[in-house]
């Protein structure tokens, strides 16, 4: 995905760490299998994960047997990740921004893969690709993934847009343009990767899973996005009420979602 120019929001998730931890869907096993297959990762291979959050990708990577060094700048998110991985010697949790990571913490030429889920767009693209390439060993891969859930019932999504998201326009999703918009953003992200001149032409794909959320889980998901942290308590309460009213009027006791998944995997270019 193309770099986010509102980089000032990159720590906003830390403001809603507990909600984030509960609400965000984990990275599905099939996507982790795809990463392992394409990168050729083997058990015990060292992997650097950037923007690990509370472990949405870290945990399935560990289940795949690789050793993870997880970078997470958010203090509260990092505390939850450290708690979740306590006692697992296969996970090392580091604080700070990836761009500022000292060489001693992540030595150049070390990693079989640098991976990131839902986080790479927050990095400075003039640094991120070059730094990742330097940290990778020859033949190593950069694997970037994102997930983008949207309400599957377009009539319900339109109702929510109209009646619930007045104070939170960032929650509005247009079913007609959602996926094409993501595809355009993804193409711009691949152009940034190509401009770094440090990776081979990437393999990439979009796939779509389904999710079924309870009304509360759907509301928490809305609040887990970066821009939700700016909502004050009154705006949150009001939105919760509006969301629940729309769902009730719609007779929806669950919210079916389409979860669009994008993966982009590139091998380090040999020089």
Ligand X SMILES: C[S@@+](CC[C@H](N)C(=O)[O-])C[C@H]1O[C@@H](n2cnc3c(N)ncnc32)[C@H](O)[C@@H]1O
SS3 state of residue 11 = coil
CA gap 114, 66 in Å, rounded: 12
Angle in degrees, CA 24, 127, 195, rounded to 5: 100
Q: Does 77 bind ligand X (CB under 6 A)?
A: yes
Q: Please, what is the minimum distance in Å from the beta carbon of residue 268 to ligand X?
A: 19
Nearer to ligand X, 97 or 203 (CB): 97
The b-or-e profile of 73-104 (16+ CB within 10 A means b, else e) is bbebbbebbbeebeeeebbbbbeebbeebeee
CA torsion sign, 172 to 53 to 10 to 205? negative
Nearer to ligand X, 46 or 73 (CB): 73
Q: Please, what is the minimum distance in Å from the beta carbon of residue 124 to ligand X?
A: 7
Q: Does 73 bind ligand X (CB under 6 A)?
A: yes
Residue corresponding to tokens 């949405």: 56
Site string for ligand X, 27-66 (x = CB under 6 A): -----------------------xxxx--xx---------
Q: Does 199 bind ligand X (CB under 6 A)?
A: no
| Contact status, residue 20 vs residue 77, Cβ threshold 8 Å | yes
Q: Does 129 bind ligand X (CB under 6 A)?
A: no
Q: Please, what is the minimum distance in Å from the beta carbon of residue 258 to ligand X?
A: 18
Residues that bind ligand X (CB under 6 A): 10-11, 13, 24, 50-53, 56-57, 71-74, 77, 97-99, 117-119, 122-123
């Amino acid at each position: 995905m193309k770099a986010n120019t509102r980089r000032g929001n990159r720590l906003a998730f830390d403001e809603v760490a507990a909600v984030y931890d509960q609400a965000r869907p984990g990275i599905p096993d099939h996507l982790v299998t795809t990463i392992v297959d394409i990168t050729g990762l083997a058990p015990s291979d060292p992997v650097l994960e950037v923007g690990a959050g509370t472990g949405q990708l870290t945990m399935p990577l560990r289940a795949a047997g690789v050793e993870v060094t997880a970078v997470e700048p958010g203090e509260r998110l990092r505390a939850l990740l450290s708690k979740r991985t306590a006692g697992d010697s296969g996970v090392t949790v580091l604080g700070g921004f990836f761009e500022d990571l000292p060489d001693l913490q992540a030595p150049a030429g070390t990693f079989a893969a640098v991976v990131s889920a839902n986080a790479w767009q927050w990095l400075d693209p003039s640094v991120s690709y070059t730094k990742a390439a330097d940290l990778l060993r020859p033949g190593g891969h950069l694997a970037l993934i994102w997930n983008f859930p949207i309400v599957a019932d377009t009539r319900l999504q339109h109702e929510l847009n109209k009646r619930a998201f007045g104070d939170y326009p960032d929650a509005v999703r247009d079913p007609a343009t959602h996926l094409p918009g993501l595809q355009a953003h993804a193409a711009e992200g691949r152009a940034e990767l190509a401009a770094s001149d440090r990776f081979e032409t990437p393999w990439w794909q979009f796939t779509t899973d389904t999710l079924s959320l309870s009304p509360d889980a759907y509301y928490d998901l809305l609040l887990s996005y970066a821009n939700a942290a700016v909502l004050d308590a009154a705006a949150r309460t009001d939105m919760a009420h509006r969301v629940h009213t729309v769902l009730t009027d719609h007779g929806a006791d669950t919210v079916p979602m389409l979860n669009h998944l994008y993966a982009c995997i590139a091998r380090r270019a040999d020089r």
